[in-house]
Amino acid sequence: MTTLPMSLTTNTPFDAPELSDVNEHFLDVIIHPLERPYTYKGPFHIAPGFQVTVPLHGRKATGYVVTTYLENPCKDPKVTIRSISKPDKSESCFLAEQLTLFQWISKYYHTPLSEVIDTAIPTLTPPKRERWVSLSQDTGQEQPKGGVQLAIIELLKEATTECTVQSLAGAGKSYITALKKLLEKGYVEINERLMSRQLLSVPRPAQLSLEQLQALDAILDSLTPCKNNTFLLHGITGSGKTEIYINAIIKARKLGLGCLVLVPEISLTPQLVSRLEEKIGERIALMHSGLTPSERAHYWRLALEGELRVVLGARSAVFSPIHNLGLIIVDEEHDSSFKQSDSLRYNGRDIAIVRAALAQCPIVLGSATPSLESYLNAKRGKYTLLEINQRHGTSKPPSLECIDLTKHPRSKMQSQNISLPLKEKIEQTIQNGNQVFLLFNRRGYASFMICDACGYTLFCEHCEVSLTYHESTSSLACHYCNKSYQIPPRCPSCSAPRLQNRGAGTEKIHEEVGKLFPTARIERLDRDSAKNLEDYRSILERVKNKEVDILVGTQMIAKGHDLPGVTLVGVVDCDVGLHMPDFRAAEKTFALLTQAAGRAGRGIDPGHVILQTRSPDHLSIVNTLKHNYSGFAENELKDRKDLGYPPYWRLMRIVASSENEELPEQALTLLTLNLASLVDENIGKLSVLGPSPAPIMRIKDRWRWHLLVKAENVTLMQRVLYYIKSNWKTPKSLRITYDIDAQEML
Ligand SMILES: [Zn+2]
Ligand SMILES: [Zn+2]
């Protein structure tokens, strides 16, 4: 008889482990950070998802059960299988069906399953359950007697749904005894749960336009019965995509389906959460990096036990346990924050698509500027394209205007970075009682400090990066290792006291605008002024309450905000980011400009957008001005196809870094030679670019080189990666990262 892996059987991890004397039970346990699972003998069946403590090379280790067997899977009699006692916790840590997803991620990103699980699951503490008291549907035969019993019933009636046992203490000293009596008589029910079952309100579907209704209908068609369809919801900014999501979630919940909503990190504001909760009429589980570990564990547990059935969060929410998953929504699917930039370099959007396929449910990818990957999939008919070309309600798309900075020399401007037309428009907007957003996508005061006498530029001691001057702290900072430095009184090279600030950042723009408009209320929104979600929320709250006239900020101001008072958006310098060494620079710039422009005129008053640039003919800018997404996308796709870049080819970036300056280059050169022989084998279209020094040659004292591997399809890319991993031996002092479907090129 062959051994049957039982990891995906009907055993839910909710089955409390039961003593069984029938068979021996074998289980595979995955232990972080080890690559392969270890087999142990258990006293009874322990379902996948349970955490266990196991003996390992003379010490104790914790891991998760991933597979169970009825007979010993190890056929080698010389191998001793060690025994374990019982699970660490009486509850499982994830759902059995999540394991399939974790295994897929492990394979695709060539990362040990133990690391995937370690990334996915928060540290779970024993859950705190409360006892909830509610009135029974059918009242008992015996009448309640005595003041305390009657008082309890009154309190429960007032609460309309249920209360904790402790909250009934006001009924009288002997409330526990009275409660026991009521329970015996069948007047009340007591349930032990993590939270109240209370419905917040009746779900309130949003009013939709004809275009919105058509899009919604297509999505709803895939809910009854549930089938796996990927929708690309391309709606212009302000077209009301959120309203469609809300209606789809309400419908899915009516059908008893669980929902997953992914949003880019920063747009996860408490307002969005309460708005969603109010509309869909139930509490939502949150998952994002702004939560404390215990909050994250709490929500995970609530979702795992099915108390909360809608999960909302940033990329890591894609791992959440969700019962009967029936709908996934990825808002702003183009946003690069869905890609994790360290350790397990996964893309939350891509995993969401796989997850929908595994769950056989629909997924909606929404954006005003879809990623070219998604757009091409829609063009090829792999995804269903849903388009909304009109703004929701009465607002109209903003008018756009381009200011060619080459025709506005600095010498003729009152300020270094704000042209006269932009200045006049700001003035007029504030006078009309409206608000202004000014985008400058670089933080700090000056982008570098240079000696006027010898041209020496101040660099970080640990990175090949020029230091940014921050006026607010009067210090220099490295934006890569976060080290801050005192400003030297003299040039470290020639000792001349002539160090000067050059380039600009949000702090500098803030200062300039302050000089131009001394009476205006100006605030700044960037990573320095909003260090956490609370700061972020309060800045936006002040804008919403019209306590701010002008908000200067980085790309943080371009994210999904719906602030009706903002009628003017000025992009101070469209060219920041346009000339980055990144093949996606044009795509990212187009998306940023379109998203920023979309903040203007979302209320009654029409919006206006001013783009300041020295490259007025660049297609990112020309097409932003014309509201022409498809024009931009078609042109960019043609270039990508010609050059063999994503979305036509798959791309992997291999970065080698070491404290030794020579090692990364040597290692990658050797690898390139090996790969060349693979290219000659004609296994498919494959191309290797490099090795070359990474654009940032040194970070945190490590020298960096990189190599780009392009393959015509995903299977070939996986073959290449497998080949490299099994044939390439590198010294320990060399750190190699494989970034599959890389977004980051620095
Ligand atoms: Zn000098
Ligand atoms: Zn540094």
Q: What distance in Å separates the CA atoms of residue 3 and residue 72, rounded to the nearest whole number?
A: 8
Angle between helices 663-680 and 714-727 (to 10 degrees): 130
Could you tell me the distance, in angstroms and rounded to a whole number, from the CA of residue 457 to the centre of ligand 1?
Answer: 8
Could you tell me the distance, in angstroms and rounded to a whole number, from the CA of residue 477 to the centre of ligand 2?
Answer: 8
Q: What distance in Å separates the CA atoms of residue 19 and residue 43, rounded to the nearest whole number?
A: 7
The strands making up 550-553's β-sheet, listed across from edge to edge, are: 399-404, 608-613, 566-571, 435-439, 550-553, 522-525
Could you tell me the distance, in angstroms and rounded to a whole number, from the CA of residue 464 to the centre of ligand 2?
Answer: 7
Could you tell me the distance, in angstroms and rounded to a whole number, from the CA of residue 572 to the centre of ligand 2?
Answer: 27
Could you tell me the distance, in angstroms and rounded to a whole number, from the CA of residue 528 to the centre of ligand 1?
Answer: 29
What pLDDT was estimated at residue 519? 96
- What percent of the chain is modeled with pLDDT above 90? 64
Q: What distance in Å separates the CA atoms of residue 449 and residue 143, rounded to the nearest whole number?
A: 83
Q: Where are the beta strands (DSSP E) in 603-701?
A: 608-613, 650-658, 686-699
Counting runs of H as helices and runs of E as strands, what totals does the chain give?
Answer: 18, 29
Among all ligands shown, which has an atom nearest to the Cα of 452? 1
Confidence of residue 197 (pLDDT cuts 50, 70, 90): low
**Tokens 């970065």 found at:** 655
Could you tell me the distance, in angstroms and rounded to a whole number, from the CA of residue 463 to the centre of ligand 1?
Answer: 20
Confidence of residue 8 (pLDDT cuts 50, 70, 90): very low
Express each pLDDT in 359-408 by its tens digit: 999 999 999 999 999 999 999 999 999 999 999 888 899 999 999 999 98
Q: How many CB atoms lie within 10 A of CB 385?
A: 17
Q: Is the pLDDT of residue 199 over 70?
A: no
Could you tell me the distance, in angstroms and rounded to a whole number, from the CA of residue 579 to the centre of ligand 2?
Answer: 22
Among all ligands shown, which has an atom nearest to the Cα of 455? 1
Does residue 7 or residue 609 have the better pLDDT?
Answer: 609
What pLDDT was estimated at residue 678? 80
Among all ligands shown, which has an atom nearest to the Cα of 492? 1
Among all ligands shown, which has an atom nearest to the Cα of 459? 2
Does residue 305 or residue 365 have the better pLDDT?
Answer: 365
- Report CA-CA distances (Å) from 431 to 261, 436, 520, 524, 608: 40, 11, 10, 20, 15
The mean per-residue pLDDT over the stretch 595-622 comes to 95
Could you tell me the distance, in angstroms and rounded to a whole number, from the CA of residue 415 to the centre of ligand 1?
Answer: 27
What pLDDT was estimated at residue 92? 87
What pLDDT was estimated at residue 13? 35
DSSP state letter for 472: T
Could you tell me the distance, in angstroms and rounded to a whole number, from the CA of residue 475 to the centre of ligand 2?
Answer: 14
Q: How many CB atoms lie within 10 A of CB 300?
A: 25
Q: Is the pLDDT of residue 673 over 50?
A: yes
Could you tell me the distance, in angstroms and rounded to a whole number, from the CA of residue 693 to the centre of ligand 1?
Answer: 27
Please give the backbone phi and psi of residue 686, each rounded to the nearest 5 degrees, phi first.
-140, 140
What pLDDT was estimated at residue 268? 66
Least confident of 76-80, 195-199, 355-359, 368-372: 195-199
Q: Is the peptide bond before 73 cis (omega within 30 degrees of 0)?
A: no
**Is residue 348 classed as helix, strand or coil in its secondary structure?**
helix
Among all ligands shown, which has an atom nearest to the Cα of 702? 2
The mean per-residue pLDDT over the stretch 475-484 comes to 92
Q: What is the Cα gyration radius of the chain?
A: 29
Express each pLDDT in 47-57 by its tens digit: 889 989 899 98
Could you tell me the distance, in angstroms and rounded to a whole number, from the CA of residue 109 to the centre of ligand 2?
Answer: 28
What pLDDT was estimated at residue 84? 85
Which tokens sit at 438?
């000014």
Does residue 158 or residue 228 have the better pLDDT?
Answer: 228
End-to-end CA distance of the chain: 54
Closest CA to 340 of 389, 378, 288: 288
**Is residue 291 classed as helix, strand or coil in its secondary structure?**
coil
Express each pLDDT in 29-43 by its tens digit: 999 989 889 999 988
Could you tell me the distance, in angstroms and rounded to a whole number, from the CA of residue 462 to the centre of ligand 2?
Answer: 5
Express each pLDDT in 559-593 by its tens digit: 878 899 999 999 999 998 888 889 999 999 999 99
Could you tell me the distance, in angstroms and rounded to a whole number, from the CA of residue 577 to the centre of ligand 2?
Answer: 20
Segment holding 716, helix H or strand E: helix 714-727
Does residue 537 or residue 658 have the better pLDDT?
Answer: 658
Express each pLDDT in 307-330 by its tens digit: 899 999 999 999 999 999 999 999
Burial of 382 (C-beta count, 10 Å sphere; 0-12/13-18/19+): exposed
What pLDDT was estimated at residue 20? 46
Confidence of residue 334 (pLDDT cuts 50, 70, 90): very high
Least confident of 99-103, 196-200, 559-563: 196-200
Least confident of 167-176, 340-349, 372-381, 545-554: 167-176
Could you tell me the distance, in angstroms and rounded to a whole number, from the CA of residue 581 to the centre of ligand 2?
Answer: 19
Among all ligands shown, which has an atom nearest to the Cα of 465? 2
Least confident of 152-161, 290-299, 323-332: 152-161
Express each pLDDT in 700-737 by its tens digit: 999 999 999 999 999 999 999 999 998 898 889 999 99
Q: How many CB atoms lie within 10 A of CB 568?
A: 26
Q: Is the pLDDT of residue 601 over 90?
A: yes
Q: Is the pLDDT of residue 249 over 80?
A: yes
Does residue 192 or residue 253 have the better pLDDT?
Answer: 253
Does residue 343 or residue 90 have the better pLDDT?
Answer: 343
Among all ligands shown, which has an atom nearest to the Cα of 464? 2
- Report CA-CA distances (Å) from 269 to 412, 560, 561: 42, 10, 10
Confidence of residue 22 (pLDDT cuts 50, 70, 90): low
* CB-based contact 445:520 (threshold 8 Å): no
What pLDDT was estimated at residue 267? 65
Express each pLDDT in 412-436 by its tens digit: 778 889 999 999 999 999 999 999 9
Could you tell me the distance, in angstroms and rounded to a whole number, from the CA of residue 414 to the centre of ligand 1?
Answer: 30
The mean per-residue pLDDT over the stretch 271-282 comes to 85
The mean per-residue pLDDT over the stretch 502-515 comes to 94
**Tokens 């504030």 found at:** 430
What pLDDT was estimated at residue 683? 77
- What percent of the chain is modeled with pLDDT above 70? 95
Q: How many CB atoms lie within 10 A of CB 583?
A: 16
What pLDDT was estimated at residue 42? 85
Q: Is the pLDDT of residue 18 over 50?
A: no
pTM of this prediction? 0.89
Q: Is the pLDDT of residue 137 over 80?
A: no
| Residues with C-beta atoms within 5 A of ion ligand 1 | 451, 453-454, 456, 491, 493-494, 496
Confidence of residue 3 (pLDDT cuts 50, 70, 90): very low
